[in-house]
Structures are given as C-alpha cells and as structure tokens.
Amino acid sequence: MRRPLCSSLPRPACLQKMIDLHAHILPGMDDGAPSLEASLEMARLAVESGVKAMAATPHCGLPDGDGPDAGQVRTAAARLGRALERAGIPLRLYAGMEIFGTAQTAQRLREGTLIPLAGSRYPLIEFPFEGYARQATQILEAVLRLGMQPIVAHPERYRYAQADPQLLNEWVDMGCLLQINRGSLLGRFGPREETLAHRLVGRGFAAFVASDAHTPVVRTPWLRDVWALLCREYSEETARLLLEENPARVLGNRAMDMDEPEWFD
C-alpha cells in the first residue's frame, strides 16, 4: 500500500508552503549560523516545520562599514543552496539582506551595494531599538522615493514604536510593510514586544511573520508553532496570509494587496 507523504505530521508540514523572509542562515557571515553544519541544521528544522523557501538575510549596511556586500551575500547564498541540494534538504534559498537603516541606505540600494530580498523591490530594513523614530521615517521616505517598498524588520521591538504606535500609522500609510518576529508573538522577547506584535497582527498592520532565526538551538527557524498560534488566536486565513501568501508576493516581486488596518488613535 502506498504510504501518504508526511502522514504523521500536521498540515503545514505536509503542504510545505511557508516562506521565511528573515533568517541569519548564511554560515559565518554575521551573528547567525557559525558554520555550514549549523546552517544545514537550521535548514532541516525549517523544512521539518513546514517551510519551503527562505530569504537569507545577514546583517548588512552597518554604520561602521562592517558586514558583507551584495556580491559576498549572493555568492554565499548560492554556495549554501548547492550544499542544501547535496544534503537532500528541500529548501529554496534566496539572497537577501537585513539592512541597517542609515542616511546612506537609499543611495546604497540605488547603487546596488545593498540589495532587496530575492531580487525584488522589497528591501528588509531594521533600525536601532531606541531613539530613532525620526531618522527611521526619513530613511523609509528616501527608500520609497527610489520606487522600492521597504519591509520594516520587527517594529514591535523598537521602544519608540512601543511608546507611540501611531508612528506605525505613518509608516504604513507611506507604503511601508511590517514584518513581525515569531519570537515576539510567542513572548520570547518580553511583554512589551509580545503586546505590540499581537496588536499589529490583530489590527491588520502585519504583512509578514518571519523567524529572524540565528541558530538551530535558540531563535530557530521553526515556524510551525507560530503558524499554530496564528490559527488559534486569529484564523487560518491570517496564518496563510502572513506566512505564505504575502511572502510569496515578495519572492515573485508582485504587488502587495493589503487591506487598510485599524489605525492607532
């Protein structure tokens, strides 16, 4: 008798449709995977939890000039992609960056020394956790003027967004997209992060949930638990939107189709 594939695993793992847009999986490139072995272990975990594709997003564009450039990231992603194939791990890997937002970010994106996710028009941009609201808004405006649509990495972790969520009204109204961390929704970063993460999902501000994985042990790329949490506390439609459909639009460089959120007042 033919044995059904993944018969013992819950649905998302069988469907293998989730897409993780934020993961520090490239070996030895930043504070993420320290070795090829760790990268492969992270990829195995991701696949086992139901992830079919991932953007490799090392920290780049740091103010001290540290961090890899576009060529190094593309080369490392291609090399890891080949290693995944050799190891028989069915994870499609795309080159990306988690860009540290500075006054030079827009110019460096225009020059191509910084790159968006998977060759799309969607760059993933992070900001310092404190005291950066005005600078962040100016940087996002400059990136939008390039015709790109910035994805703000984990806004729920920024103190100024926690203190004044109306800032996120402004960013979303400008055309920015918000990526929430799995760990924030699960309460791993603390109550303030957890509260804002849930408000952003509940009010329709969140466009994506991603792992922001750093290792195969803590802050892992396991997404099945957050899929279950989204299904349980919101709806399966929400889980599908944030972990499958919206990320697929980014990988395909297709337009986003976000409903208007319930604005903060």
For Fe ion, the closer of residues 96 and 165 by Cβ is 96
> What are the E-state strand segments in 24-102?
51-56, 59-60, 92-95, 98-100
The interface with Fe ion within residues 206-265 (CB under 5 A) comprises 212
The interface with Fe ion within residues 194-213 (CB under 5 A) comprises 212
Q: How far apart are CA 20 and CA 56, in angstroms?
A: 9
Q: How far apart are CA 120 and CA 214, in angstroms?
A: 23
As measured in angstroms, the least distance from the Cβ of 22 to Fe ion is 6
The answer to whether 20 contacts Fe ion (rule: CB under 5 A) is no
The interface with Fe ion within residues 133-172 (CB under 5 A) comprises none
As measured in angstroms, the least distance from the Cβ of 226 to Fe ion is 16
- Report CA 66 to chain centroid distance, whole Å: 21
As measured in angstroms, the least distance from the Cβ of 151 to Fe ion is 12
Exposure of 179 by Cβ count < 10 A (0-12 exposed, 13-18 middle, 19+ buried)? Answer: buried
Q: How far apart are CA 229 and CA 249, in angstroms?
A: 23
As measured in angstroms, the least distance from the Cβ of 212 to Fe ion is 4
Closest CB to Fe ion belongs to which residue? 212
Q: Scan for tokens 């790159």, then name that residue.
A: 115
Residues 31-70: x where in contact with Fe ion by CB under 5 A, - otherwise, as a string: ----------------------------------------
Query: Which residues have C-beta within 8 Å of that of residue 140, sequence separation ≥ 6?
Result: 101, 125, 150, 152, 171, 174, 176
For Fe ion, the closer of residues 50 and 96 by Cβ is 96
For Fe ion, the closer of residues 17 and 22 by Cβ is 22
Residues 83-122: x where in contact with Fe ion by CB under 5 A, - otherwise, as a string: ---------------x------------------------
Binding residues for Fe ion, rule: CB under 5 A, are 98, 212
